[in-house]
Amino acid sequence: MNKEFFKKTFKEKKLRMSHPRLLIYMELSQAKAPLSAQELYQCLTKKHKSIGLTSIYRSLELLESIGMVFKIPNGSNGRYKLCELEGHHHHIVCKSCGKVLELGLCEISGWSEKVMESTGFKITDHQLNFFGFCRECNLSKEEKGLEG
């Protein structure tokens, strides 16, 4: 993920490549962990990048809506992570350490068809998140005898 990908995507989707949007994209692409809006604001301000907090919220919302950024649900409130996968995909979140994994394959379409038939809805999209414990957290739980 780099500036070229950002440009390509924004061109394709006919979105404006504004300064704040690129700043946030770049900052997230360097981040080691998911960041909140406030954290982004502080990071960028420290680096003497001029940006308003309002724009951060708005840019994050946009980037999320086009699937470039994942907003981590539950727990680590309002933190955002750049997606490595292009296009439609889903996520697994570790409830213990917060690790996020991306899943490229989506197996919803068959079910989705059935739901459309039975409900009369025209389904255009969906969101799915898995929650659980990553291998590492599972192992350390077993060591501690909290399970298994």
Which of 22, 39, 33 lies closest to 70, judged by CA? 33
Q: Residue 67 or residue 73: which is nearer to its own copies going by CB?
A: 73
- Of the candidates 20, 47, 18, 43, the residue with the CA atom closest to the CA atom of residue 33: 43
Interaction of residue 77 with its own copies, rule CB under 8 A: no
Q: Does 128 help bind DNA (rule: CB under 7 A)?
A: no
Residue 112 within binding range of its own copies, rule CB under 8 A: yes
* 8-state DSSP, 116: H
- Verify binding: residue 74, DNA, rule CB under 7 A: no
Distance in Å, CB of 81 to DNA, minimum? 14
Task: Find, among 147, 58, 53, 60, the residue nearest to 96 by Cα.
Answer: 147
SS3 call for 113: helix
94 binds its own copies (CB under 8 A): yes
Site residues, its own copies (CB under 8 A): 73, 92, 94-95, 101, 103, 107-108, 110-112, 115-116, 119-135, 138
